Chain A
């Protein structure tokens, strides 16, 4: 007989989950495994709301296993550590990000690139190596192998630091990998949401000149005065777009909806790189002339390995980089999702799990 979410593991847990592609989240009782030798049990304090959570609960990508408990920007306190755990002790403040498992023996894993392991499993909506489903951070606690737990630096606040676990690493990793760390170079950040606003801050910390590229001028004042961007480019202004042609060394494209790549490619210098991070459900159109005529490149990137995620957290702690957040209670999540769908958030919702998640 198939086990129910509540009975498949020995320890009952409470969280909020979605049961179908309406995406409506509501109280959900399920269970988690015992804390194994290599595991850390984390009592969850805060969990960021990532756009991926929204895509997943609505089954935008067609592979959601309902019921789903989202949440992969988790900060909490270690309450149990297994006997083989050396990196953490009880009481430590820790983070759990997008990945909760990998094979730990392939070439990617050996290179600390668990994110590219073919058997990598996500923190939620994935099947673990024991065949059971992973449930994410919109819940009281989570049990994770120590390899996939991050040490949260002392001066990084738990609430505004939480979004770094996905948004932060998602922009930091390609910025390092594709060489966007040379001071004085010019970075364009397309889309000013959860990822975009963190990319501006990290870009400035690398000493880059940063231009925010947006479809409207709404966020211009904030981008410049509050986030520290050097300039703001509105894509619907043909004159400004023309003047900006061939001026950027790189573009981080965080736009989650289907959009035209051609105008963005035009902004790149010769040999310029555009890193596409948004995951629309329809394909993007890639014109090849701009690529050939300027040896330009469009690449992807998928979060980062655990070692790099730790490096990113330490970097952000050192440079006082945190996300701009709106703290919400667990029962406000559905209206938060509606607002997120309209990009109506400056710039990440974070759920105050510890203070607002309580079983009915």
Chain B
């Protein structure tokens, strides 16, 4: 078993695809990563999911992108090097890396295993490492990460379809558990049937929760009901359907990031119902105070989950055979995939086959 010790400042060459500006166009990019630290693992990337956040960041929609930008935070790979103090992993282990790769480790959130809410949480890509360098994400051949921020992938979980769990999966699993929406006596709505929404349906069914997919068109109804096993499908633009569903849901998880009205969703909630917002919408929502007061309803946000919970989610997915519906693509298809993602043209997550197709793009 090969273990490395010491913290020499040598760079290790890395190769991936990056965008150089807010056009978001990706192309081959040679860069470097740090040597594996004492508590770190080096992960050879096998697959990386394409998250809608990648699209937002590539195009600098949140006005915080630093270029060159290597996206990717739904990473599944194999441990190729271990630091001398690493205890969680061995060489060859299949691991996942998600949206954060560091946090302050001392605040209340970190102490309560909610590293995702640490105000100093560091993003896997476009975040800044404590040594001041910019983090590059999973559209690359390997990544170095502190063992705390990696999770083990059980061997029963197929790797490519496990990748989206690292962001989409935990983003749906966490609020369902935290807001008490996981269980046979609950009925939830899931707004938007994309990367997050479709995984959410699968988790909900595994929890025994009754789930209705809420969508603006009928296009995905067959998928929702037959492929994913949703109990119902509600077209939000159909007034009669919406009226009939008034006051029927214990919770709604809204995955839509585009600007939309949430007032009709509040009407679908039972008394004490909760609307959980996940989509990164820029414009504030207009809400009537009445709509919350009459029925003691609430609106909350949620963002991914802590590392302990992410491992719990992965293990749960393995136990219940939950995987994402994916379209595996080669590295050089990525720009087309991003364009298609922008139009919602994917059932339901692109996953880049890094191991088999990245190297070939290096000239």
Contact B117–A113 (Cβ < 8 Å): no
Which of A284, A293, A294 has a CB less than 8 Å from the CB of B287?
Answer: A284
Q: How far is the CA of A293 from the CA of B247 in the complex (A)?
A: 28
Instruction: Say yes or no for B294: interface residue by CB 8 A criterion.
Output: yes
Contact B292–A299 (Cβ < 8 Å): yes
Q: How far is the CA of A113 from the CA of B271 in the complex (A)?
A: 10
In this complex, what residue of B is CB-closest to A115?
B296
Q: In the complex, what residues of A have CB within 8 A of residue B108's CB?
A: 269-270
Question: Contacts A116-B296, A286-B299 given: A278-B284 contact, CB under 8 Å?
Answer: no
Instruction: Say yes or no for B277: interface residue by CB 8 A criterion.
Output: yes
In B294-324, the 8 Å CB interface with A consists of 294-303
Which of B279, B285, B290 has a CB less than 8 Å from the CB of A285?
Answer: B285
Contact B293–A279 (Cβ < 8 Å): yes
Contact A301–B301 (Cβ < 8 Å): no
What is the count of residue pairs linking A and B with beta-carbon distances less than 8 angstroms?
112
Which of B178, B286, B289, B301 has a CB less than 8 Å from the CB of A300?
Answer: B289
Contact B289–A295 (Cβ < 8 Å): no
Q: How far is the CA of A113 from the CA of B303 in the complex (A)?
A: 32
Q: How far is the CB of B281 from chain A (nearest CB, A)?
A: 5
Q: How far is the CB of A188 from chain B (nearest CB, A)?
A: 17
Q: How far is the CA of A301 from the CA of B119 in the complex (A)?
A: 30
Instruction: Say yes or no for B346: interface residue by CB 8 A criterion.
Output: no
Contact with A along B239-271 (1 / 0, CB 8 A): 000000001000000000000000000000001
In this complex, what residue of B is CB-closest to A261?
B284
Q: In the complex, what residues of A have CB within 8 A of residue B291's CB?
A: 300
The A interface is mostly helix, strand or loop, or mixed, namely mixed
Instruction: Say yes or no for A283: interface residue by CB 8 A criterion.
Output: yes
Instruction: Say yes or no for B126: interface residue by CB 8 A criterion.
Output: no
Q: In the complex, what residues of B have CB within 8 A of residue A273's CB?
A: 298
Q: In the complex, what residues of B have CB within 8 A of residue A113's CB?
A: 271
Residues of B within 8 A of A (CB-CB), count:
35
Contact B285–A286 (Cβ < 8 Å): yes
Residues of A within 8 A of B (CB-CB), count:
38
The B interface is mostly helix, strand or loop, or mixed, namely mixed
Q: In the complex, what residues of B have CB within 8 A of residue A296's CB?
A: 300-301
Instruction: Say yes or no for A276: interface residue by CB 8 A criterion.
Output: yes
Question: Contacts A284-B286, A292-B303, A297-B300 given: A116-B271 contact, CB under 8 Å?
Answer: yes
Contact A286–B303 (Cβ < 8 Å): no
Q: In the complex, what residues of B have CB within 8 A of residue A177's CB?
A: 296
Instruction: Say yes or no for B23: interface residue by CB 8 A criterion.
Output: no
Instruction: Say yes or no for B280: interface residue by CB 8 A criterion.
Output: yes
Q: How far is the CA of A61 from the CA of B286 in the complex (A)?
A: 17
Q: How far is the CB of B97 from chain A (nearest CB, A)?
A: 21
Contact B293–A300 (Cβ < 8 Å): yes
Instruction: Say yes or no for A359: interface residue by CB 8 A criterion.
Output: no
Q: How far is the CB of B247 from chain A (nearest CB, A)?
A: 8
Contact A294–B271 (Cβ < 8 Å): no
Which of B271, B281, B286, B299 has a CB less than 8 Å from the CB of A297?
Answer: B299
Q: In the complex, what residues of A have CB within 8 A of residue B90's CB?
A: none
Q: How far is the CA of A291 from the CA of B290 in the complex (A)?
A: 20
| Residue in B109, B284, B289, B295 with the greatest tally of chain A CB atoms within 10 Å | B289
Which of B117, B272, B280, B296 has a CB less than 8 Å from the CB of A294?
Answer: B117
Which residues in B have some Cβ–Cβ distance to A below 8 Å?
A: 108-109, 114, 117, 119, 178, 247, 271-272, 274, 277-281, 284-303
Which residues in A have some Cβ–Cβ distance to B below 8 Å?
A: 61, 108, 113, 116, 118, 174, 177, 246, 262, 269-271, 273, 276-280, 283-302
Could you list 7 examples of A-B contacts with CB < 8 Å? A276-B292, A279-B290, A296-B301, A298-B299, A298-B300, A299-B298, A300-B298
